[in-house]
Structure 1
Amino acid sequence: MSFSKLGLCSSILKALDEQGYSEPTPVQSKTIPVVLSGKDAVVSAQTGTGKTASFVLPILERLNTERTRRSKRIRALVLVPTRELAMQVESNIQTYAKHLELRSMVMVGGLDSEPQKQALIDGVDILVATPGRLLDLAHQRALYFDELEFLVLDEADRMLDMGFIGDINKIIDRLPKIRQNLLFSATLSKEVKSLAKTAISNPVEISISANKNSTPKISQWLVAVDKEKKSALISHLISDLKWPQALIFIRTKAGAAKLVSQLEKRGISAESIHSGRSQSVRSRILEDFKSGKISLLVATGVAARGIDIEDLSTVVNYDLPDDVDDYIHRIGRTGRAGASGEAVSLVSRDDFKRLCAVERKLGQEIERRQIPEFMVLKDLPESDLNYSKSAHKPKHKPQNNENSKTKLKPKPKLKSQSKPAKSAEVSSTGRADPWAGWGNKR
């Protein structure tokens, strides 16, 4: 099927052709006809499947009518969780609407609000916004929603994870009752389904499952490393493997700045983006990274869903994330549009429980590689997935296999064992429990 058969006008088709897009992805071919028909939709699709175009293209088609643009009014609202994603979505709108007489703008925090207010006065058709800044300007009466026709909740799961549910509900309360609603999410958790029931009536449900044709071609592997040697290891990998471009995820903004400094001391140029940098600086760095001027970018989770770069070769988890879904979104920055990619994780003993969670989510072990120059003093225990092969263990005594990778030190001979050894907590089954102490992570 081609885009020309989906009912899009010649101006949109021309813009798509100029970008080299000829055939829609599965989420686009299923979603675009539904949106064009005026129905509400709840769409579940992983990152990198082309979901942005699946709502932008039909909205552009339906808004492409002669109409006087009124001051401080908008016709379509796209809510997103982060500033980076907002800018990415608005950039896509600009690309697809290149030959249309439609205006769009981005409204996010961290930027001067006065230019945003002026743009609203001049008139806007499509507004891409983060919840906080939108509510702020709505309270200042800088915009009104009485002419709103479309509401899109993009990355709904991420917005809920970031605690935006209160702001989203306040925004929905201000909107016209009669409107078309679209919700997009990588996962349909109970919280997302609850939000959908609040905002959407009788939606068409579209779920794009992974298959051989749509699954990104991402090679995943990890290196066990002592925590204090991580920066030396990443420097070695960068120099040895000569990645053309790499996005390196780290847990904290202080850690990001420190890593960039450590790399520079070893003659490796890198940049960082995190919440401590101004929006203008972050925007400039992202543009330089996308254009190839910057080859190494160290980022905190703020950039996990806001970067869309063609042919990004490598994603590195310098630190594994606390949320397993964030791992999926991180590595989804590579292997896009049918290209191959590589996801590398540096895993210390402190990260082992997070690794167990990731491998359970994937349903498979991640390949472990050794770097001779960085043999660990504290090796990783055996993968959590291997415990499923021996679920029934004696309760009174964990199995003590001399060759087991989980053995951290010789077990002392005790007449009775009222407490487990410090090297491994013991579950009710009597076996080492790598999930102990993990908490109630969802």
Structure 2
Amino acid sequence: MEASNFKRFELKPFLIEALSGQRFSLPTEIQERLIPAIKNGKDVIGQSQTGTGKTLSFLLPILDKIDPAKEEVQAIITAPTRELASQLFDELKKLLEHCPEEEMIHAKLLVGGTDRNRAIEGLKTQPHIVVGTAGRIGDLMDDKALLVYTAAMLVVDEADQMLDMGFIADVDKVASRMAEDLQMMIFSATIPEKLQPFLKKYMNDPRHVQVEPKHVTASKIEHRIVPLRNRDKLTFTVELAKSINPYFAIVFTNTKEQADEVTAAMQEAGLNVECLHGGLQPRQRKQIMKQVKEVKMQYLVATDLAARGIDVKGVTHIINFGLPKDLDFYVHRVGRTARAGADGVAYTIFEQNDQLAVEKLLKRGITFTYYDFKRGEWQKLDKPPLGVPGKRPKSSSAKQETVKSGSSKEVVNTGTGKAKAKPKKVKPGYKKKARFKQAKEAQRERRISSRKKK
């Protein structure tokens, strides 16, 4: 399949060949709108969710602009975590596989948790492109091993996460030492107000492109809510995980401590599970990511570190041990499944304090189905359980009835969704008293009639 639709961007032939090899033929919306702008040297802000093709929207024009004859750093691509940086580097390598020997473009991955001396040794010849974490890039700049003053292109990927994790200062340090005519490219799901000072400092009339996905989440994801009720959460999570028997499932927790607890409980139950969070040693994280890519486990327990941008193939199920405080992360979490047209199921264990969060997700257009898990079996519920937000179905089979009681009537609910009339309550002995009253009234009328005759 030829990447003919990319040809109009007038990219280098090896890039068109690489796209054909990966069966990319049609540019996504963000690629369509940003590739020409980046090629023309414009500062850009690409605002989009994961899965919109943003990575290629900056890799393609950057590679097209690199001059392989100049043995100097020309572009720097930063990411908030080493996992994300590694993934970007992998995508870059796929494109460079088709680069001809005489025009070879050299790239280096520079992230924390790797041998610093080896990195310095590897920089004796400066690469054309550097991909890495801003902290490690800054350290190698300080060591004068990495010379960035020649680089005129800077990508800040997942900028909002970079801000949340406190790494914008590191990016600022790198940007301040780069070429004066710096072209900055910001990519982020959101553009927080706190990011504005940084943008204004470096960006000149940027092209801001915001791409909204057609659906908040992939259309083939089924979002299931399961109420915890009074059950033990760890035990219930293990039972849930066992019952779905996934090809590969990710269990998301909100803290590192929760991730460790859930992993321990699942391991104790004999499940093939690994754990990924920021508290692990770099070497451990690297090993686990390698196992994830090779799908050597059935379950991965992770914090939101693994939710943003990391593309793990073959995820069939997501389990939310708890809903994230930032509901954008719900979208990122469930976006790990139902990729490339596949189906996926996302389970959320619901507690009463999740009520507001679920209401907000409903307003975003996410449709939930409701399930319970009892005695080892799944039961689909026709309506949300008590306390769980959602639309409750209305019955259409009810009829309105009217029941007369003397001259008075009262409308009440029949239990079928509509109303009927029922008589007002009558006191015991009502009929006997009524007859007695009628007899007394007749006697009184007879007396009055008799008086009139006299």
TM-score grouping bracket, smaller chain normalisation: 0.7 to 0.9
| Counterpart position of 1:162 | 165
Relative distance call for 1:383 and 1:185 in structure 2 (3 A) is same
The count of aligned residue pairs is: 379
Partners of 1:365 and 1:383 within 8 A in 2: no
Identity value in percent? 32
Q: Which letter maps to 1:157?
A: D
Q: In the alignment, is residue 381 of structure 1 matched against residue 381 of structure 2?
A: no
1:364 CA displacement? 4.6
Q: Which letter maps to 1:250?
A: T
| Counterpart position of 1:54 | 57
Structure with greater proportional strand content: 2
SS at 1:160 equivalent: helix
Relative distance call for 1:232 and 1:177 in structure 2 (3 A) is same
- Mean alpha-carbon deviation: is it higher for 166-175 or for 126-135? 166-175
Deviations 1:14-65 (A, max 9, x none): 22222222222221122112212222211111111111111011111111x3
- Mean alpha-carbon deviation: is it higher for 334-343 or for 7-16? 334-343
Following the alignment from structure 2 to structure 1, what is the Cα–Cα distance between the partners of residues 389 and 216? 29
Structure 2, unpaired ranges of 5+: 379-384, 393-414, 416-454
SS at 2:375 equivalent: helix
Deviations 1:305-357 (A, max 9, x none): 25202342222211221222222221222233343322221122344444445
What is the aligned counterpart of 2:23 among 20, 43, 65? 20
Partners of 1:364 and 1:385 within 8 A in 2: no
| Counterpart position of 1:371 | 373
SS at 2:123 equivalent: helix
Following the alignment from structure 1 to structure 2, what is the Cα–Cα distance between the partners of residues 372 and 363? 29
Q: In the alignment, is residue 345 of structure 1 matched against residue 348 of structure 2?
A: yes
Partners of 1:49 and 1:214 within 8 A in 2: no
SS at 1:181 equivalent: strand
| Counterpart position of 1:412 | none
Partners of 1:216 and 1:336 within 8 A in 2: no
| Counterpart position of 2:430 | none
1:253 CA displacement? 2.4
Deviations 1:197-218 (A, max 9, x none): 2221011121111226995532
Q: TM-score, normalization: structure 2?
A: 0.77
1:148 CA displacement? 0.3
Structure 1, unpaired ranges of 5+: 387-402, 404-442
Larger Rg belongs to: 2
Q: Which letter maps to 1:92?
A: E
Q: In the alignment, is residue 182 of structure 1 matched against residue 185 of structure 2?
A: yes
Following the alignment from structure 1 to structure 2, what is the Cα–Cα distance between the partners of residues 88 and 291? 14
SS at 1:207 equivalent: strand
| Counterpart position of 1:77 | 76
Q: In the alignment, is residue 270 of structure 1 matched against residue 273 of structure 2?
A: yes
Q: Which letter maps to 2:375?
A: E
Relative distance call for 1:253 and 1:228 in structure 2 (3 A) is farther
Q: Which letter maps to 1:136?
A: D
SS at 1:42 equivalent: strand
Alignment of 1:393-404 (within 5 A): none
Alignment of 1:299-338 (within 5 A): 299-338=302-341
- Mean alpha-carbon deviation: is it higher for 235-244 or for 294-303? 235-244
User: Structure 1 segments of 4 or more deviating over 6 A?
Assistant: none
Partners of 2:35 and 2:57 within 8 A in 1: yes
1:111 CA displacement? 2.0
| Counterpart position of 2:246 | 243
Q: Which letter maps to 1:245?
A: F
Relative distance call for 1:51 and 1:136 in structure 2 (3 A) is same
- Mean alpha-carbon deviation: is it higher for 268-277 or for 230-239? 230-239
Higher RCO, 1 vs 2 (CA within 8 Å, ≥6 residues apart):
1
Following the alignment from structure 1 to structure 2, what is the Cα–Cα distance between the partners of residues 213 and 267? 36
1:164 CA displacement? 2.2
Alignment of 1:95-174 (within 5 A): 95-100=94-99, 101-174=104-177
Following the alignment from structure 1 to structure 2, what is the Cα–Cα distance between the partners of residues 78 and 118? 21
Deviations 1:111-135 (A, max 9, x none): 2212222222222111112222222
Deviations 1:77-100 (A, max 9, x none): 111111110111011111111122
Relative distance call for 1:112 and 1:145 in structure 2 (3 A) is same
SS at 2:290 equivalent: helix
Relative distance call for 1:176 and 1:227 in structure 2 (3 A) is farther
Following the alignment from structure 1 to structure 2, what is the Cα–Cα distance between the partners of residues 155 and 213? 18
Q: Which letter maps to 2:69?
A: R
SS at 2:212 equivalent: coil
1:159 CA displacement? 0.8
Partners of 1:44 and 1:186 within 8 A in 2: yes
Following the alignment from structure 2 to structure 1, what is the Cα–Cα distance between the partners of residues 213 and 291? 32
| Counterpart position of 2:225 | 222
Partners of 2:216 and 2:331 within 8 A in 1: no
| Counterpart position of 1:279 | 282
Q: In the alignment, is residue 41 of structure 1 matched against residue 47 of structure 2?
A: no
| Counterpart position of 1:233 | 236
1:385 CA displacement? 9.2
SS at 1:368 equivalent: strand
RMSD of Structure 2 on Structure 1 (CA): 2.6
1:380 CA displacement? 6.3
1:384 CA displacement? 8.5
Following the alignment from structure 1 to structure 2, what is the Cα–Cα distance between the partners of residues 31 and 335? 26
SS at 1:157 equivalent: helix
